[in-house]
Chain A
Amino acid sequence: MIKRKEGSSIKKITSLDEALVKKYAEEPFEFWGPTPEEARKIMVNKPKGMVDKRMTLKEAVQKYIHGREGLSIGIGGFVNTRPPVATIHEIIRQGAKDLTLCFQSSSICPELLAGAMLLYPEQITIKRVELAWWGYEVIGIAPLLRHLNAKGMIRLDDYTNYGMSARFKAAAMGLEFIPVRDHGGADMELVNRGVMVESPFTGKNSYLVPACYPDVGLLSVTAADIYGNCRIFGALCTCPEIAMASANTIVTAEQIIPSENIRTYPNLTEIPFTAVDALVEQRFASYPGAQYGFYWFDMEHILMFRSASDEFRKTGNADKLKKYYEDFVFGCETHDDFLAKLPYKTLKKIRDMDGGQPIILS
């Protein structure tokens, strides 16, 4: 057993309920997704040939998510940058129960799942969330997170953005845990599943966070060849780590590029084909989020969804929120159907707002 320390002096200043702190401290640890050994075994047993991984999003979700209860889903991107929105829509259409969500900072993806859980609980339920941040930045806090938390409907496991990123990184490294220089001395130390231990080298306090291995990682990337070698431009966020951490991945790429290009500049590959199971070529896959080099985020669309969500939270009136799902999620067979419902001018505007960020497809 690890040598647990009394920890920092957080207990001198915390306002948290003692019984809750005790309960969390005594809770035996278990990975909420696969264990390191299980994740490794899944990887070892995969065929490693360079094969065409392309399929439709419907096929990808059917294969890796549909009908499997209690999955842990890693959500890529960072707030409005490269959220895997197309895949989240398809998951809502096909249904998934008892989900564990894990991400560092996310906006519309967990909100879409939360709204689906509140309106269509026979379709989607979220059991718990391992996170650093869930909100809309300049647009405001996340109404549906606020609602679910106020009603005690989901378990939250709070880390910092580095904590969550390091947890994915640890899993990408095949580890059980990783020491980090944050969380200590803050209340996250008392509520999350990390532990303060004594460094075996110096005896100093060192905070360990457990690795996070999702069952399925959802990534939206700039470009990939048909085998799933991915390039990402703009901020990488924690996408390479999430891809390597996950037992399986569903990757949407804005554009498929020749494998010859990948081989010309292998340094530009951020995720190798071995870490990609399903590859979907999908334009505007992150819409209403942004894809660097292709389109900026659509604030108006996000505001529309958020205000419908906030109205539901404040008044219980779900009409507008339901209409959103009926129009844009259930009323569409594919992400292209969703895009077809948007005015051309909207897509043109966000394309222009990107400002031609430089990406390399050659």
Chain B
Amino acid sequence: MSEYTPFEMIAYTGSRVLEDNKIVFVGTGLPIIASMHAQLTHAPGLGMIFESGPLSPVLEMGMPLSVGDTRACRKAVYLKGLCAVFELTQRGHADYAFIGGAQIDMYGNVNSTFEGGTYTEAQTRFPGSGGAGAMAANCEKSIIIMALEKRRFSKKLEFVTSIGYGDGAPDYREKAGVMGSGPYRVITNEALFGFDEGTRRMTLLEVAPGRTAEQIQEKVSFELLISPDLKTMAEPTKEDLKLLREKCDPDGYFLARKVK
């Protein structure tokens, strides 16, 4: 088996989660790479939406460095602005929201607003919701990428930026006035999570080769549900890695984190 980095495992797993002939509303970085990989392999009919305005572009100029990158518009079939694409999500055109964040709780609520201090005087203010809060509300299913660390898999978020299942109550999302059905998968390099239908709690579905459910639980602050059918995560093949490294992110902006 080939050597791969944590980011490559996340991108590959993200690709696996996406189905063919669906529309994915992508955030910057790994979501774009995962979607490009899916298009090149098992999901040629997957379409992407970028929040600045394009629907189903052909990313022939290379990976857009951000969702606002002009390259994301290349050969789109429909190109308007933010209102148009977010209204598509409200109307049910977008199957997946693919976002990241700083913290997640057991019900898939996500914080990407601040960490430490208070809202008005934060130790670390992040950029803010951007599209994430709207995507998590109104794309049909949310896929969330998160580093597997105790402080990120948090018992209680400092700020709820993107709605998940709230407190787990069956009517939480309906009372919030949102349209999407909610969190679907949480992707890390060591584990893949889903959500239990009855309790809406985060459930461990797959672990990376060599890892155990106990090891994953140790990196999570809240109690995980464990799928009775716990699986081992598939690893990227040589061909997958070649695609990721040569076609999706050849400059290593996200897979190798060159900029930071």
Query: Which residues of B sit under 8 angstroms from A227, Cβ to Cβ?
Result: none
Q: A345 on the interface (CB 8 Å rule)?
A: no
- The answer for the CA separation of A143 and B8 in the assembled complex, in Å, is 28
Q: B24 on the interface (CB 8 Å rule)?
A: no
Interface residues of A in 92-108 (CB under 8 A from B): 104-105
**Contacts A134-B127, A238-B82; A184 near B121 (Cβ below 8 A):** no
Query: Which residues of B sit under 8 angstroms from A145, Cβ to Cβ?
Result: 125, 127
- The answer for the CA separation of A240 and B81 in the assembled complex, in Å, is 9
Instruction: Verify A10–B260 contact, CB threshold 8 A.
Output: no
Query: Which residues of A sit under 8 angstroms from B161, Cβ to Cβ?
Result: 186-188
Nearest Cβ on chain B to A171's Cβ, whole angstroms: 12
Instruction: Summarize B's interface: helix, strand, loop or mixed.
Output: loop
Instruction: Verify B259–A138 contact, CB threshold 8 A.
Output: yes
From B9-17, B38-46, B111-119, give the one contacting chain A.
B111-119
**Contacts A8-B166, A8-B176, A131-B128; A162 near B134 (Cβ below 8 A):** yes
Partner of A152, one of B81, B121, B134: B121
Partner of A241, one of B51, B52, B83, B159: B83
Instruction: Verify B125–A146 contact, CB threshold 8 A.
Output: yes
Instruction: Verify B133–A357 contact, CB threshold 8 A.
Output: no
Query: Which residues of B sit under 8 angstroms from A187, Cβ to Cβ?
Result: 113, 119, 159-161
- The answer for the CA separation of A80 and B138 in the assembled complex, in Å, is 25
Instruction: Verify B179–A181 contact, CB threshold 8 A.
Output: yes
- The answer for the CA separation of A155 and B120 in the assembled complex, in Å, is 7
Query: Which residues of B sit under 8 angstroms from A12, Cβ to Cβ?
Result: 166-167, 169
Partner of B175, one of A9, A78, A142, A236: A9
Interface residues of B in 216-235 (CB under 8 A from A): none
Instruction: Verify B70–A188 contact, CB threshold 8 A.
Output: no
Q: A234 on the interface (CB 8 Å rule)?
A: yes
Residue of B nearest to A146 (CB): B125
Residue of A nearest to B53 (CB): A235
Q: A165 on the interface (CB 8 Å rule)?
A: yes
Size range of the chain B interface in the assembly: 35 or more
Instruction: Verify B90–A181 contact, CB threshold 8 A.
Output: yes
Residue of A nearest to B169 (CB): A9
Q: B181 on the interface (CB 8 Å rule)?
A: no
- The answer for the CA separation of A205 and B178 in the assembled complex, in Å, is 9
Partner of B128, one of A133, A235, A354: A133
**Contacts A196-B177, A204-B177; A20 near B172 (Cβ below 8 A):** no
Partner of B70, one of A151, A181, A183, A296: A296
Nearest Cβ on chain A to B154's Cβ, whole angstroms: 10
Partner of B83, one of A14, A105, A165: A165
Interface string of B204-247 (1 = CB under 8 A from A): 00000000000000000000000000000000000000000000
Nearest Cβ on chain B to A358's Cβ, whole angstroms: 9
Nearest Cβ on chain B to A28's Cβ, whole angstroms: 19
Instruction: Verify A15–B71 contact, CB threshold 8 A.
Output: no
Query: Which residues of B sit under 8 angstroms from A196, Cβ to Cβ?
Result: 177
Instruction: Verify A140–B259 contact, CB threshold 8 A.
Output: yes
Q: B61 on the interface (CB 8 Å rule)?
A: yes
Instruction: Verify A150–B177 contact, CB threshold 8 A.
Output: no
Kindly name the residue among B66, B123, B156 whose own CB sees the greatest number of chain A CB atoms within 10 A: B66
Q: B86 on the interface (CB 8 Å rule)?
A: yes
Q: A17 on the interface (CB 8 Å rule)?
A: yes
Instruction: Verify A160–B129 contact, CB threshold 8 A.
Output: yes
Residue of A nearest to B87 (CB): A162
Interface residues of B in 65-124 (CB under 8 A from A): 65-74, 79-84, 86-87, 89-90, 105, 107, 109, 113-114, 117-124
Instruction: Summarize A's interface: helix, strand, loop or mixed.
Output: mixed
Interface string of A320-362 (1 = CB under 8 A from B): 0000000000000000000000000000000000110100000
Interface residues of A in 252-284 (CB under 8 A from B): none
- The answer for the CA separation of A249 and B188 in the assembled complex, in Å, is 45
Q: A161 on the interface (CB 8 Å rule)?
A: yes
Q: A312 on the interface (CB 8 Å rule)?
A: no
Query: Which residues of B sit under 8 angstroms from A234, Cβ to Cβ?
Result: 53, 70, 73, 79
Q: B137 on the interface (CB 8 Å rule)?
A: yes
Q: B126 on the interface (CB 8 Å rule)?
A: yes
Instruction: Verify B121–A237 contact, CB threshold 8 A.
Output: no
Q: B31 on the interface (CB 8 Å rule)?
A: no
Nearest Cβ on chain B to A16's Cβ, whole angstroms: 6
**Contacts A165-B83, A182-B138; A132 near B176 (Cβ below 8 A):** no
Interface string of A121-150 (1 = CB under 8 A from B): 000000000011111011111100110011
- The answer for the CA separation of A201 and B158 in the assembled complex, in Å, is 35
Q: A91 on the interface (CB 8 Å rule)?
A: no
Partner of B160, one of A182, A186, A241, A299: A186
Q: A225 on the interface (CB 8 Å rule)?
A: no
- The answer for the CA separation of A8 and B80 in the assembled complex, in Å, is 32
Q: B163 on the interface (CB 8 Å rule)?
A: yes
Query: Which residues of B sit under 8 angstroms from A140, Cβ to Cβ?
Result: 259-260
- The answer for the CA separation of A207 and B159 in the assembled complex, in Å, is 19
- The answer for the CA separation of A17 and B129 in the assembled complex, in Å, is 19
Instruction: Verify B130–A161 contact, CB threshold 8 A.
Output: yes
- 6 smallest A-B Cβ distances: which pairs? A185-B176, A135-B127, A236-B81, A235-B53, A133-B130, A137-B66
If A9-B167, A138-B29 are given as contacts, then 12 extra A-B residue pairs at C-beta distance below 8 Å, sorted by A number, are A8-B175, A9-B166, A10-B160, A12-B167, A78-B52, A105-B68, A141-B125, A145-B125, A181-B138, A186-B161, A241-B83, A290-B69
Q: List 23 A-B contacts (CB under 8 A).
A: A9-B176, A13-B105, A78-B82, A104-B130, A137-B65, A138-B254, A141-B125, A150-B122, A155-B120, A160-B132, A161-B130, A185-B172, A185-B176, A186-B129, A187-B159, A196-B177, A204-B174, A234-B53, A236-B53, A236-B84, A237-B52, A296-B70, A357-B73
